[in-house]
Each structure stands twice: as structure tokens, then as C-alpha cells.
């Protein structure tokens, strides 16, 4: 069977997009999804996303990591899927869709920027060494020195597979502060098992963690990632972070066909 696919990227976080509203795609074929994401033997991507029908919202997001397994929420993937839905004429400029972590609202700007509402956060584990929280996916946030030369893959894997997070593991974010409202972030992603050029749920976690630990009082932050720049804003009501929005570019790269 030959299928149509679309390739999107958001600050270098890249995804294979498939219109699965007819439910033709073999969703349980882990090896197939892994092959499609393979950068040498397939299309190449950090993950694969299916757009499906949903009876209560505009569409459903089904996300797989590049290892072929269905995973938790992906922020940049969600933003790219919104852009994909617009390309398919499923939506216009605003949308509501369902993902594994619940309901999401999003808007598409005239300049191609997609703003995606993330889940509320009210539970953080704060220690002197790191902060842990879930922004749709689990994230470890840690400030480090000399981030530019930090061995993210080696250090990230060591924490991801440590007893701290057990079998499920966590995404690992390393951070350095540039100024009051700007931070540089590099992320090791579980499921990809390597550093990615950006991570949407990761920068969201970093922004909230930096505010929660008093590193910054800003509620609208700029996050510089390896693949570009993202923005995160939120409101803080007591210990709860609400109206959390992730904003950045979501760009169509190319479309094609592949035999599966």
C-alpha cells in the first residue's frame, strides 16, 4: 500500500503527518512507525502524528515517538498538527482538539506562528538540584553551567534511565539563564533517546520551573532552543499554573508518498 504523508517542523522538531480520518493506518505496527521515522531508511522524523476524527472536537491527535511507540503529549507536534489541519481545510484560524492529555485550544497567526494552550500544572517536585513536573509529558529541569558544550545525550540518558524515574523514564532538560525572561534550553527526549533540536512540552516545563523556583518572576518567557526560538506564557493562581500557552513557528516542509 502506498500512502500520502506530509512533513512538518517546529523549531527543528520534525514530524511525519498522516491524515488518518479514514482509519486506514496500521496503528499497532511499531516496526513500521519506527521505519517511517528512520532518517536513513525512511522519511526521517522525531515522531509520527496521525490526524483523526473526533466527535466532540475538530480532530484527534495520536502521537508516536520515533521508536514506534505511542507516547504522551508533544507540544511542537501539537502545533505542527494544527498547521496540518489548516492545510487540510479541517480548521481555519482557531481550533479545539483532543490529545492524550486532554483538550487543547490553538490559534494560527497570519505569520505562521501557532499558539497552543497546554494543560494546567499544579504539581511540581522541587529539589536543590532539579525540578520535576508534567506538562503533558514528564520533564526533569536542571540548571547547568556551560550549556553550549554540555554533553546532553550522555548526561540526559544517565538521568532518564536512572532509578530516579524508573522504567517509565522522563524527558531531561538542561537550562541556562540569559536574562530575566530569556533562557537557553537543550533537551534529551525519551522515545527519541537523543537530543532533539526543540521540545515544546520541555520548554513549557522549563518556563514554569524557573518561575516556581524563583529564578525569574516573569510570566511570559523566551526560550532559545537549538532549532530556534519559542515563547511560553502563563497565569499563576496560588500554586497553579493556568492559561499556559506555547507559541512558535510550525512549518510545512514537503509532502510525498511511501510504500508501507
The CATH superfamily of 124-238 is: Diaminopimelate Epimerase; Chain A, domain 1 (3.10.310.10)
For residue 256, what are the CA distances in angstroms to 2, 43, 61, 253? Answer: 10, 9, 21, 10
Which residue in 118, 175, 198, 199 is the catalytic one? 199
Q: Is position 200 annotated in a ligand binding site?
A: yes
Q: Is position 76 annotated in a ligand binding site?
A: yes
| CATH number of the structural domain 2-118+250-259 | 3.10.310.10
Contact criterion met (CB below 8 Å) for 27 and 50: yes
Residues carrying CATH 3.10.310.10, the chain: 2-118+250-259, 124-238
- What is the pTM assigned to this prediction? 0.96
Query: Shortest CA distance to 44 belongs to which of 225, 240, 196, 215?
Result: 196
Q: How far apart are the first and last CA of the chain?
A: 6
Contact criterion met (CB below 8 Å) for 66 and 40: no
pLDDT value of position 110: 80
Contact criterion met (CB below 8 Å) for 65 and 72: no
- Count CB neighbours of 208 within 10 A: 25
Q: Which residues lie closer than 8 Å to 48 by C-beta, 6 or more apart?
A: 15, 16, 17, 18, 33, 36, 37, 63, 64, 66
Q: Which residues lie closer than 8 Å to 220 by C-beta, 6 or more apart?
A: 181, 231, 232, 233
pLDDT value of position 111: 85
Q: Is position 134 annotated in a ligand binding site?
A: no
Please give the grid coordinates belonging to residue 48: 509520527
Q: Is position 112 annotated in a ligand binding site?
A: no
Low-confidence residues in the chain, pLDDT < 70? none
pLDDT value of position 112: 85
Which residue in 36, 74, 119, 157 is the catalytic one? 74
Catalytic residue check, 80: no
For 56-79, write each residue's pLDDT tens digit: 999 999 999 999 999 999 999 999
Burial of 4 from C-beta contacts in 10 A (0-12 / 13-18 / 19+) = exposed
Q: Is position 166 annotated in a ligand binding site?
A: no
Catalytic residue check, 37: no
Amino acid at each position: 500500500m502506498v500512502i500520502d504523508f506530509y512533513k512538518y517542523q517546529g523549531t527543528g522538531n520534525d514530524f511525519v503527518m498522516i491524515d488518518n480520518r479514514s482509519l486506514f493506518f496500521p496503528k499497532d505496527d511499531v516496526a513500521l512507525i519506527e521505519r517511517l521515522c528512520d532518517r536513513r531508511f525512511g522519511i526521517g522524523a522525531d515522531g509520527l502524528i496521525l490526524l483523526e476524527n473526533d466527535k466532540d472536537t475538530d480532530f484527534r491527535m495520536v502521537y508516536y515517538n520515533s521508536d514506534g511507540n505511542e507516547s504522551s503529549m508533544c507540544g511542537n507536534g501539537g502545533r505542527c498538527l494544527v498547521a496540518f489541519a489548516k492545510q487540510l481545510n479541517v480548521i481555519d484560524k482557531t481550533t479545539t482538539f483532543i490529545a492524550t492529555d486532554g483538550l487543547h485550544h490553538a490559534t494560527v497567526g497570519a505569520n505562521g506562528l501557532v499558539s497552543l494552550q497546554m494543560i494546567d500544572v499544579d504539581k511540581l517536585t522541587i529539589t536543590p538540584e532539579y525540578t520535576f513536573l508534567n506538562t503533558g509529558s514528564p520533564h526533569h529541569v536542571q540548571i547547568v553551567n556551560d550549556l553550549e558544550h554540555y554533553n546532553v545525550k550522555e548526561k540526559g540518558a544517565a538521568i532518564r534511565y536512572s532509578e530516579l524515574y524508573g522504567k517509565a523514564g522522563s524527558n531531561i532538560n538542561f537550562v541556562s539563564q540569559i536574562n530575566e525572561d530569556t533562557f537557553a534550553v537543550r533537551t534529551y527526549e525519551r522515545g527519541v533517546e537523543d537530543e532533539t533540536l526543540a521540545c515544546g512540552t520541555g520548554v513549557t516545563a522549563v518556563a514554569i520551573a524557573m518561575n516556581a523556583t524563583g529564578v525569574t518572576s516573569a510570566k511570559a518567557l523566551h526560550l532559545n532552543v537549538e532549532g530556534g526560538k519559542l515563547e511560553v506564557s502563563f497565569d499563576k493562581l496560588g500554586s497553579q499554573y493556568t492559561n499556559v500557552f506555547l507559541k512558535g513557528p510550525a512549518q510545512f516542509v514537503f509532502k510525498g508518498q511511501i510504500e508501507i
